[in-house]
Structure 1
């Protein structure tokens, strides 16, 4: 994985020192809350529903064992609310739980002492006191980590597919381009105060595994007829209140021109993007409103950058080679770790099929560890697990791991002969659920349990569905299904792109949920990126599990064969049968609650 230069390391250390000074001046009353707000946001520090939330950048998802150990230390020593805060938060959650109509599923207790893997390969903590923030930033800087531009109206953490550099079907390893873009965009003075946040994603395979259609800028690697590397450039994708799939503005951009063209794209947005209404300030609104006029303005700006400015950000062959040298195959330990796992056992074979992928190098495999465990929210890793992951990375994957868009963790350099031993070690941690790409490999944001923007909780819904579908035979029979849950319209859980999407909404001060069907992220399974369609009015929290079950029962009844995937059946038969099933489940749940109330009244 890429190693920061001494300049990078010094930069991160100095940034941590600067933040400590800012924090101390705020604590001393020398900076007001208003003055301190943008300073903490620029370093990834939010204030959420109950406590501060820290977001840490993991560029293009690559993370080392040393970094995992520091994250474990932070979780263990710093991610703790005091007793009064925890009691207040739990009481608030219990009150909300009690207010929900007919809800019989218990919400998981509020947890602390863990990190949360996000859909954009960041790591978040939910309980670190601001008084300890500078100490945490120093710890992160010691291993080259930070929270720079994980918040604010700037270019955010650069992402790319988790299989970059290791997939057999790869066109181009996009990690060097992602790293060059990270260096260019970090503290870019012209783009420090954009109209709104700005996200860039790279994809290097023919299959879009980075959901590039849903990004402000999505970059799909290509080779032209001459074999030259370039990118198809999509601009204006995004979810939120107005889900829009990005528009292609350049079919083939030579790779050397990447930064010059990005500068034009962002500069035009910075100039014309709305600043009077934050809900209409994302670049997707500008692209949708202006269409070809926006593309023409970008091309004119790009031409000026090349002709008048001399194309100052052209990526030279020497610069590309310098960065590519940081992405060489690591030194691998010898294979042959002993194991007592029976390789013919059904659980191991099922895991091998579902969680292990081929590698571009003979003799190696890519292993995805599932962070969709009973008792944990999707993407949560406590301190002990983070320490254990560091050990797994050192033992089996040359000290490297990767966070994935689906809130899991992959080990990219595993000897195929060591798979039984890795399975044995990961099984002890509860990380071998053979559900990657299946129903219970769900995406979910933290929702109303932590986020002050959320209308409803996502974690209890995820827990209820996980509990319902513990039979791995049933989950396997259902086949590939993307289930995404968001606590509000901001769509941090990417509900718009789920085959089944669940969105928390507020209704009369209570938690309700909309269900959408037919969303897609652009992968080979899902097809071109598109938002799902709402199947009916909102459902109560108590009704959501029944609604999902009815939808899946309808799929089983409607599919042409066991081999037809959910998304294909939905597109073949249309939404109506599923909509009827969802509404039927609601009526049945209402009747059950009515009978229960009548029985309770009769015995009172």
Structure 2
């Protein structure tokens, strides 16, 4: 993984000391909250309903065991003993005291982490496929591209005050595990007919109150032109993006208003002015950064692991876990393992300090001291010898991290909602907890099959409800919490936005409504279809009829 050079280290530590002075002035009254607000947001510090919240960047979702232990210590010393992993592959601490924030940032800087550009109208944390460098279907490790973008975009003087926040995601495989279609810029690493590696570039995706799927503006961009093309996109957006209306400020609105063809031509015209110019990477820089992401020293393992196969035959709980939480690795004898942060009744994405410390130990033992964060709010050990899977599983069971539900109904994405967020209209966490309790029977969950259920507490869609196979949106009706339901969304390579079923459900009805949807699917599915396949075949009508039959 990438390591800070002298410039990185000096820059991040200088930022800590700058913010230490700003916090001191806020505490002694020299700065008002209005004056302090832009300064704290530049350092990832939000003021939520009950306390400050610090959002820490985890670039492209990759952590070392040392960094995870530092996060555990921050949770233990400065928060309430846990952290919350987000759909942006970040971690949030919900209860830090303002006076402690500089010390937290220093602790982060000491392990090559920071909170810069996790807020504000700038290019946010660049996200990637959490299986990067390990997936069997990967063309190229997308983290190299992400790191190049991170270095280019951090405090870029032209793009530090954009019309609105800006999000970029990169996937290196045909299977989209990075949700690129719902980002301001989505990059897919592809090969052209000549076998050259480059990018498919899509622009204008996003969720929120006006959800849109990104439009492809270039089907193949040669790798050497990555930064100049991104710069052209950002320049067009910076010039033409709406600054007079917060709700129309994202680039997706610009794409919608001018049209994909016109926007594409604007980008191409801008690109022509800077192509082959100084913005491109210096010779050898791609290779230099790429060396940080060289494969770990894999052992020469056999294709078969007899102990693993024997354990699968005699232990159904272990076998069920391997079917959902274990994926193929490109390296013979290894596997990718997802650690579920979604136990029955738990808060999606939360991990205790003790769990983080233990996961760091497991990463040291089984996965080259490396951990990944997925946009589905789970953690991943990307390089586990298949022979070690039984021992790893037993350790995860003891930690409450072995729920065999990845990609199943209880693997719920949920934002913090009204329990924490000042923007929320309704609670997300209690609904997620009740749903995970309702569907805690894993035999039933496995029978239901692949199903993505996402919950947002407001229209800002931090819970990605628009792209859930089943999406739930909390709304306020005269001071009461209600929940709208959408069906048919997807954030994968078949990206789609969900369709609204009908009138919202009260808080005490929404779990039963999801039950009705799932039973309707089971009634109509054919030959083991996924929920999404059945929905696309039969349409909305059967689900709507079941939900409102007694209304």
Report the TM-score, using the length of structure 2 for normalisation: 0.96
Alpha-carbon distance in structure 2 between the residues aligned to 1:226 and 1:567: 35
How far 1:517 moved relative to its partner? Answer: 0.3
Alpha-carbon distance in structure 1 between the residues aligned to 2:62 and 2:390: 24
For residue 401 of structure 1, give the secondary structure of its aligned residue in structure 2. Answer: strand
- The 5 Å alignment of 1:38-117 reads 38-79=38-79, 112-117=80-85
Does residue 471 (structure 1) correspond to residue 471 (structure 2)? The answer is no
Partner of 1:12: 12
Partner of 1:265: 233
User: Structure 1 stretches of 5 or more lacking a match?
Assistant: 80-111, 588-604
Does residue 204 (structure 1) correspond to residue 172 (structure 2)? The answer is yes
Does residue 213 (structure 1) correspond to residue 178 (structure 2)? The answer is no
Aligned residues: 544
Q: Using a 3 Å threshold, how does the CA distance of structure 1 residues 333 and 19 change in structure 2: closer, same or farther? A: farther
Alpha-carbon distance in structure 2 between the residues aligned to 1:38 and 1:10: 23
Partner of 2:356: 386
How far 1:210 moved relative to its partner? Answer: 1.0
Does residue 296 (structure 1) correspond to residue 265 (structure 2)? The answer is yes
- The 5 Å alignment of 1:154-553 reads 154-291=122-259, 292-306=261-275, 311-331=277-297, 342-343=311-312, 344-523=314-493, 527=494, 529-553=495-519
The answer on whether the counterparts of 1:119 and 1:407 sit within 8 Å (CA) in structure 2 is: yes
Q: Using a 3 Å threshold, how does the CA distance of structure 1 residues 511 and 325 change in structure 2: closer, same or farther? A: same
Q: Which runs of 4+ in 1 moved over 6 A?
A: 333-336
Q: Using a 3 Å threshold, how does the CA distance of structure 1 residues 54 and 32 change in structure 2: closer, same or farther? A: same
- Deviation digits for residues 347-385 of structure 1 (CA, Å, limit 9, x no counterpart): 011111211111111111110000001342100001111
For residue 402 of structure 1, give the secondary structure of its aligned residue in structure 2. Answer: strand
Partner of 2:535: 570
How far 1:31 moved relative to its partner? Answer: 2.3
- Deviation digits for residues 531-584 of structure 1 (CA, Å, limit 9, x no counterpart): 1011110110100011001111111111123x1111111111111110111223
For residue 472 of structure 2, give the secondary structure of its aligned residue in structure 1. Answer: strand
Alpha-carbon distance in structure 2 between the residues aligned to 1:317 and 1:443: 42
Alpha-carbon distance in structure 2 between the residues aligned to 1:419 and 1:560: 34
The answer on whether the counterparts of 2:432 and 2:455 sit within 8 Å (CA) in structure 1 is: yes
The answer on whether the counterparts of 2:57 and 2:113 sit within 8 Å (CA) in structure 1 is: yes
Alpha-carbon distance in structure 2 between the residues aligned to 1:243 and 1:273: 17
| CA RMSD after TM alignment | 1.6
Alpha-carbon distance in structure 1 between the residues aligned to 2:463 and 2:135: 26
- Deviation digits for residues 101-146 of structure 1 (CA, Å, limit 9, x no counterpart): xxxxxxxxxxx42100101100001111111111111111110111
User: Structure 2 stretches of 5 or more lacking a match?
Assistant: none
The answer on whether the counterparts of 2:3 and 2:292 sit within 8 Å (CA) in structure 1 is: yes
Q: Greater CA radius of gyration, 1 or 2?
A: 1
The answer on whether the counterparts of 1:547 and 1:583 sit within 8 Å (CA) in structure 2 is: no
How far 1:342 moved relative to its partner? Answer: 4.3
How far 1:332 moved relative to its partner? Answer: 5.8
Alpha-carbon distance in structure 1 between the residues aligned to 2:475 and 2:281: 46
Q: Using a 3 Å threshold, how does the CA distance of structure 1 residues 32 and 333 change in structure 2: closer, same or farther? A: farther
Alpha-carbon distance in structure 2 between the residues aligned to 1:582 and 1:66: 49
Alpha-carbon distance in structure 1 between the residues aligned to 2:439 and 2:215: 38
